[in-house]
Amino acid sequence: MRGRQWRVVPHPGPIGGEQHTGGRSGALRAAIFGVNDGLVSNVSLIFGVAGAGVDNQVVILAGIAGLLAGAFSMGAGEYISVRVQREVFERLIHLEAHEIGSEPEAEREELAAIYVRKGLPDDLADRLATELMRDPAVALETHAREELGLDPQMGLGSPVAAASASFVTFASGALLPLLPFLFASGGAAILASAALSGAALFGVGAAMTYLTARGAFYSGARMLAIGAAAAAITYLVGKALDVGVGV
């Protein structure tokens, strides 16, 4: 069954709730959250280290380590998650195909029962199930959607592509708060980093309104407040733990 192609019919969504994570909005969503993760995590890390008043080189080292550690962690997590999702998906589809092949009548009744539960009259549910069971490909797709709550397009994503996208988006978010420290040091770098990160947090928050259709200003300000709070807390912790390294 591996690599089997389905004709996919647009569908309002399976019983098990919305499973639609694919498509362009899914990729946009993943990109926005990847950048956001990198940004918030490295802003907090860099401000914590900078708050301790260490040498500029130490801030840069911590920022690069934070960027790489986070990006690898996100990439690895994404790889495993997509792989496992795909394996589970393939196993369920395989079992379902086997059942449709070996017990078509039981599967037809099962499908009819699902439509009766959805409120269709018995005779209509029966006819619908019979028609849908005629073509094995349609039968399998219908069972996948109606019974298992799976979207046949789901699980076909590439784990490597998902992992790479995660890595790149996290790294680009994490790079922003680090940039000023590559060109300046001390208070000037901290201020520039705060301004750059603040603008980026606001931008990411506002970009999320493509998904939520809420006010861009409110969403941007909320993201900025969350990021600023995280950075302020780690900065104060850094200051409290200031052990006088470097300087």
Compute how many residues bind Zn ion; rule: CB under 5 A: 3
Q: Select 28 or 148, whichever has its Cβ closest to Zn ion.
A: 148
Q: Select 78 or 146, whichever has its Cβ closest to Zn ion.
A: 146
Report the nearest approach of Zn ion to the CB of residue 142 (Å): 9
Structure tokens at 48: 């914590």
Q: Select 5 or 102, whichever has its Cβ closest to Zn ion.
A: 102
DSSP string covering 177-213: HHHHHHH--HHHHHHHHHHHHHHHHHHHHHHTHHHH-
> Using the rule CB under 5 A, which residue among 37, 78, 107, 146 binds Zn ion?
107
Report the nearest approach of Zn ion to the CB of residue 153 (Å): 19
Q: Select 59 or 140, whichever has its Cβ closest to Zn ion.
A: 140
Query: Measured between alpha carbons, how far is 47 from 53 in angstroms, rounded to an integer?
Result: 10
Segment interacting with Zn ion (CB under 5 A) among 59-67, 100-108, 121-129, 196-204: 100-108
H-assigned helices in the chain:
23-51, 56-102, 104-117, 122-132, 136-146, 159-183, 186-207, 209-212, 216-240
In order of 7, 136, 144, 214, 242, the CA distances from 133 in angstroms are 15, 6, 13, 43, 70
Residues 118-147 that bind Zn ion (CB under 5 A): 143, 147
Report the nearest approach of Zn ion to the CB of residue 22 (Å): 23
How many Cβ atoms are within 10 Å of 122's Cβ, its own excluded?
11
Report the nearest approach of Zn ion to the CB of residue 119 (Å): 20
Residues near Zn ion (CB under 5 A) are 107, 143, 147
